[in-house]
Structures are given as C-alpha cells and as structure tokens.
C-alpha cells in the first residue's frame, strides 16, 4: 500500500534552534518527493522538489535530504524563526500517477 508517514506529529522548539522533520514512504514506483509548508489558514506552498537522483536540496534555511534506498527523507530547518511556525507536509509522487500526502508535522517556534 502506498503510504507516507511523517514524524513527529508535532514539535515545539525555541527560536534560533535547529530541527529536523522526518518522512518515510512506501510509494512505488517512485517519481519525486516534495516538501510543502502550510501556514495556518493558508494553502500549502512548495519548499523543495527532489527526484530519485538527488539526495540534497536547499531553499534558504531549509535543507531536504532524500535516501531512495531506505525510502526516507528529512527536512532540516536551520536557525528557526517565528515565521517557521507552520505545518510541513511531505508529498510523494508516483510515476503511476498517484500523489500521496503525509499528514504533516506541526512545528511551533517559541520566542
């Protein structure tokens, strides 16, 4: 069964600290993996897109990694800011025309 599981479900950290969010998937055949940021009351916004051959991609303070062998991805946030408070969603695209969303990690940054 195609699944995307994210951990932790929620996370609270202090402003300025780093954190890492995890995504494990069992989607096959794999095409690409995306991380989205969703602010409260808004639609998701794309942060990174990675294909099978890419193992690291950065977008400012956000760095995503992909291990296609173990079917794991992570999103690392450096020097967190209050504006990073949001839900982060891992999405896996299957080359069989399936889009599978994780249920997200809710991140709260405390001053």
Partner 1 sequence: DAGITQSPRHKVTETGTPVTLRCHQTENHRYMYWYRQDPGHGLRLIHYSYGVKDTDKGEVSDGYSVSRSKTEDFLLTLESATSSQTSVYFCAISESSGRFSTDTQYFGPGTRLTVL
DSSP string, 30-86: EEEEEEEEE-TTS--EEEEEEETT--EEEETTEEEEEETTTTEEEEEE-S--GGG-E
Interface with partner 1, residue 23, by CB under 8 A: no
Strands 62-67 and 72-77: antiparallel
By CB under 8 A, residue 13 contacts partner 1: no
What is the smallest separation between the CB atom of 88 and partner 1, expressed in angstroms? 12
Question: Of the candidates 17, 42, 61, 110, which one interacts with partner 1 according to CB under 8 A?
Answer: 42
The residue among 64 and 80 lying less far from partner 1, judged by its C-beta, is 64
Binding site for partner 1 (CB under 8 A): 4, 31-32, 34, 41-46, 49, 51, 89, 93-97, 99-104
């Amino acid at each position: 069964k195609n699944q995307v599981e994210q951990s932790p479900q929620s996370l609270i950290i202090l402003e300025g600290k780093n954190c890492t969010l995890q995504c494990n998937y069992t989607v096959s055949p794999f095409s690409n993996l995306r991380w989205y940021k969703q602010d409260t009351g808004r639609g998701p916004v794309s942060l990174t897109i990675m294909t099978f051959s890419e193992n690291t991609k950065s977008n400012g303070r956000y760095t995503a990694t992909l291990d296609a062998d173990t079917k794991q991805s992570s999103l690392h946030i450096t020097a967190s800011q209050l504006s990073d408070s949001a839900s982060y969603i891992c999405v896996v695209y299957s080359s069989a025309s399936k889009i599978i969303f994780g249920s997200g990690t809710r991140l709260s940054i405390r001053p």
